[in-house]
Structure 1
């Protein structure tokens, strides 16, 4: 393809790397906070009287970590996929099916953004039991994570179109660097 297309793709991939670089430490911090809150919960139950808010905070952290972790797994192509049929097809048909799959994912993610936003708004009057925190903040991760995965899918779509039939890109192609094992 043209050099402009390649430049656009490189720009989108750099943005993808930046987003990935932001999400990774957030998930790490969430995991560290979850460990700390659960430790506090155990220690307080054993040695003192239970701290009431720890269970709620742990639950909310787990929800956010799960959704943000799913975006990282999506970006790296770590979600379950059956690809042997597509990989057995000739190049042009393989690219067409990969593009169709990415488009289906994009439609699903846009629907999840809309539904997640509606659900978030519907639950906005509700407060959490011990923290009295608006549940909007808890449910906000649904449209946020769907939007991030939609962005990753969009970058994959551009990559499929720009690089042509020989590309290995697809849903969550894993263009970001993997963390060391």
Structure 2
């Protein structure tokens, strides 16, 4: 169990680090290009391409971070009117649908990444597979987070998420 916790914490830290790095990279690159355009008078043509690709990664990593902190929205007006047994059953069913969807997104994201190796970007000639890889990678992170929430839900435990603690679950 400790190995799983350690792996989970590693994935969580990697997810956060990659997201923060992508955001900082976009900001620095945009500022550098503004400098090149208005001060030097020679803007870099490739910046838009790299910024868009980094933004795709940032969006996907941001989605996984939202899943980690349980920030996704849900409309449960109808479900709340059900008896508690039914509420739990609907919740479990919904969680299973999300888990299956994430597995499918990982599978088809891998296929998309493989097919993207032959398609190149117009300016830099980078394979699109580097961008397409954001789908399976971030969905894997989401699967880890959602799988943990689902497991805790099945066990009847409340999910508690703290963004900056070292271990998400208390060590035993």
| TM-score, with length taken from structure 2 | 0.84
The reply on whether 1:92 has 2:85 as its aligned counterpart is yes
Q: 1:159 aligns to what?
A: 152
Query: Aligned partners of 1:87, 1:168: CA distance in 2, in Å?
Result: 17
Residue of structure 2 equivalent to 1:69 = 62
Q: How many pairs does the alignment contain? A: 164
Contact 1:53 1:131 in 2 (8 A): yes
DSSP 3-state at the match of 1:30: helix
Aligned with 2:31 (options 31, 36, 39): 39
- Equivalent residue number for residue 126 of structure 1: 119
1:89 to 1:15, Cα distance in 2 relative to 1, 3 A: farther
In structure 2, the residue corresponding to 1:126 is in which secondary structure?
coil
Q: Secondary structure at the match of 1:84?
A: coil
Give a deviation string over 1:128-177, Cα, whole Å, max 9, x none: 222222211111011111122122221122111112xxx445xxxxx431
Identify which of 119, 129, 138 aligns with 1:136. Answer: 129
Deviation string 1:59-88 (CA, Å, 9 cap, x unpaired) is: 111000000010000111112211233344
> For residues 76 and 11 of structure 1, what CA distance do their matches in structure 2 show?
22
Which blocks of at least 5 consecutive residues in structure 2 are unaligned? 165-172
Instruction: Quickly say closer, same or farther: Cα 1:143–1:21, change in 2 above 3 A.
Output: same
Q: Alpha-carbon deviation of 1:12?
A: 5.0
Could you tell me whether the CA contact under 8 Å between 1:20 and 1:176 is conserved in 2? no
8 Å CA contact 2:15, 2:141 repeated in 1: no
In structure 1, stretches of 5+ residues that fail to align are 1-7, 170-174
State the partner residue of 1:178. Answer: 163
Q: C-alpha displacement at 1:20, in angstroms?
A: 1.7
Q: How far apart in 2 are the matches of 1:89 and 1:118?
A: 40
